[in-house]
Structure 1
Amino acid sequence: MSARTVHTLTGSGIPLSAHFTLPAEGAAPRATILAIHGRGMRAGYWDAFTPLATRLGHAVLAVDRPGYGDSAAYLPEGQNLADQAETLRAALKEHARTHDLGAGVFLLGHSDGGKVALHTAAGGTDAPPLLGLDASGVGYHYNPEALHFPSTLGGGATKLNWGPLGLYPRGTFQASRALLAPTPPRESAETMWWPRQFETLAPEIRIPVRLTFAQHEAWWDLSETALQAMTTRLTASPSVTVDHLSSSGHNISLGHTATAYHLRALAFLEECLLRR
């Protein structure tokens, strides 16, 4: 069986709680997946993904982002997305001192965690080698209906975050309460500026990128024009792929189609390993 531990990373002196799972039977990891949760969630968002990844020989480091989990006491206002990425890069560097990363680090991000993953990929070269980036639920331009940016915990974002309730297994919404956490103020304050941020960081991303959007994704403008504008800004990436997942809502990894999405993400990781 795979060995999962409650783990603490340290990034720039900030303790970050995480779930760390190694491949079965103590095998050396083929790669390490840094799984980054979305707004108002915790690392447990990736619990269904981890067993699949470890069975394929990868280590999974599902982290509570800066401002969530153990770091919330140290960062009561949280950090903006760029600072979160810097903290995660420092934590990865420290983690690599004592753990085998395999061929490198694969970034897996959802929603605001996908934004942080994109910031992380665009950052400096002082972090361990990055293999690729798979992001779900993060686009370029917001859907006009989402521009009021409702509170996740306040219930105003139910339609945006979930879509039709039948897309999720029975009991999902009760169980997901354990995953919820307040969104740090600094993270919330910069939400509206994401399109401008993406325009700045996109040309600096030099690893393969895969973007997945749910059929019932309501946060983002998913028109062909908007998606083409997003992908064409990733000028330094060796490959950019856009995938659409039917019968799914924004929180893909909690829905009925979670396994399909996770397997596609892991297939993309295999392509990144072959490319490397």
Structure 2
Amino acid sequence: MSHPPVASAAPGTVRATPVVLDAGDARLSGLLAQPPHAAPHAVVVAVHGGGMRAGYFDSRARAGLSLLTLGAQLGYTVLAVDRPGYGASADRFPRGVTLAGQARLLRSALAFFASSQETGAGFFVVGHSNGAKLALTLAADAPASRIIGADVSGLGTRPAVTADELPGPAGHGDWRRHWGALRLYPPDAFRFGRELIAPVPAAEAEEAVDWPRAYPRLAARIEVPVRFTFAEQERWWLHDDAAVAELLRPLKAAKASVDRLADAGHNISLGWAARTYHLRVLAFLEECLLARDAAPAVSARRHLIVSKGPEASTRKGNVS
């Protein structure tokens, strides 16, 4: 059985290191960054979009753009996972894995991670594009998955493209939809980005067309806070007022909000706007933790019983 390594770094510095997680039916690869001197406040679980890898959240094009190093410097463990069908599990699942299957495997991987690592207040999931679908699926099963909240980008419910324009195993679609204006990205983003690109598994591509119909049922089950971010030059999904209203309408049991990020294209975490976006992600995580800590006594007690058991604390202790 593989065990996630503790990130080693010189005093005062943080870096991401490779990790392999046991997910039961498969091994999931990824990247891990941990606070150098203290237990984490929580664990940020970052899931990449279609045709990418975990390194999407660890941009090396310029200092400060990586979610992994930023999160660890601010006291969080950040775990970026290669979704099932990518990385170490690509050979195990040559056609990829459905969304429900990805969620099952990632839940197992997170339980494995929590069996040997401190997780603070629990898991906060960050998802981009197709990975945002997985983030919302985990959020819909928050008590079982120990999810605090979800922050997603590059995902809506009204496509700005036709079905035959969606990325598939044969290609990634029009590059301008993925990137927007090239001025939004450091020049090195494209040189480093080549090693992050992977084929979109067939099962994932086939299921993508069902998302607008599947989303309302999924959203109705979400009770944890959710934040959506649309890049200024988001070109895969509509995000006008009518589209945003449709996106939020099914989230009846969740506190939900929508943010728009200037000077950004679809691949936010690889662009100049990455640090701005990641700081807002972590600020939203802090809001989620604050809401739990400041909850009325009755609801706070109910949360402890449902999520962690009667001896747990909302801000401290492992999640198992």
- TM-score range relative to shorter protein: over 0.9
Matches of 1:125 and 1:266 in 2, distance apart?
A: 21
How far apart are residue 4 of structure 1 and its match? 3.4
Corresponding position: 1:67 with 2:78: no
Residue of structure 2 aligned with 1:221, choices 230, 238, 243: 238
Identity of aligned residues (%): 45
- State the secondary structure of the residue aligned to 2:251: coil
The amino acid that maps onto 2:276 is: A
The amino acid that maps onto 1:69 is: G
Corresponding position: 1:114 with 2:132: yes
User: Unaligned stretches of 5+ in structure 2?
Assistant: 1-12, 59-65, 293-320
How far apart are residue 145 of structure 1 and its match? 5.5
Match of 2:115 in 1: 97
The amino acid that maps onto 1:117 is: A
How far apart are residue 148 of structure 1 and its match? 2.1
Residue of structure 2 aligned with 1:12, choices 24, 35, 46: 24
Matches of 1:67 and 1:155 in 2, distance apart?
A: 16
Residue deviations 1:19-69 (CA, integer Å, cap 9, x gap): 1111022x1011000000000000001111111111110001100000000
| 1:154-165 paired onto structure 2 within 5 Å | 154=171, 156-165=173-182
The amino acid that maps onto 1:174 is: R
Structure 1 pair 152–72 and aligned structure 2 pair: CA distance change class (3 A)? closer
Residue of structure 1 aligned with 2:154, choices 127, 137, 152: 137
Root-mean-square deviation (Å): 1.5
Residue of structure 2 aligned with 1:241, choices 251, 257, 268: 257
Corresponding position: 1:258 with 2:274: yes
The amino acid that maps onto 2:269 is: S
Match of 2:195 in 1: 178
**TM-score computed with the length of structure 1 as normaliser:** 0.95
How far apart are residue 157 of structure 1 and its match? 2.3
How far apart are residue 242 of structure 1 and its match? 0.3
**TM-score computed with the length of structure 2 as normaliser:** 0.82
How far apart are residue 142 of structure 1 and its match? 0.5
The amino acid that maps onto 2:126 is: L
Corresponding position: 1:22 with 2:27: no
The amino acid that maps onto 1:250 is: H
Matches of 2:172 and 2:99 in 1, distance apart?
A: 23
How far apart are residue 190 of structure 1 and its match? 0.8
How far apart are residue 146 of structure 1 and its match? 6.8
Matches of 1:175 and 1:137 in 2, distance apart?
A: 21
How far apart are residue 121 of structure 1 and its match? 1.1
Matches of 2:172 and 2:148 in 1, distance apart?
A: 37
Residue deviations 1:130-176 (CA, integer Å, cap 9, x gap): 11100010111101467621448735320110011111111221220
Larger mean Cα displacement after TM superposition, 11-20 or 153-162:
153-162
Corresponding position: 1:274 with 2:274: no
Matches of 2:28 and 2:151 in 1, distance apart?
A: 22
Matches of 1:70 and 1:64 in 2, distance apart?
A: 8
Runs of 4+ in 1 over 6 A off after TM superposition: none
Question: Could you tell me whether the CA contact under 8 Å between 1:141 and 1:195 is conserved in 2?
Answer: yes
How far apart are residue 125 of structure 1 and its match? 3.3
- State the secondary structure of the residue aligned to 1:234: coil
Structure 1 pair 203–155 and aligned structure 2 pair: CA distance change class (3 A)? closer
Structure 1 pair 189–274 and aligned structure 2 pair: CA distance change class (3 A)? same
Matches of 1:95 and 1:110 in 2, distance apart?
A: 22
The amino acid that maps onto 2:287 is: E
- State the secondary structure of the residue aligned to 1:246: strand
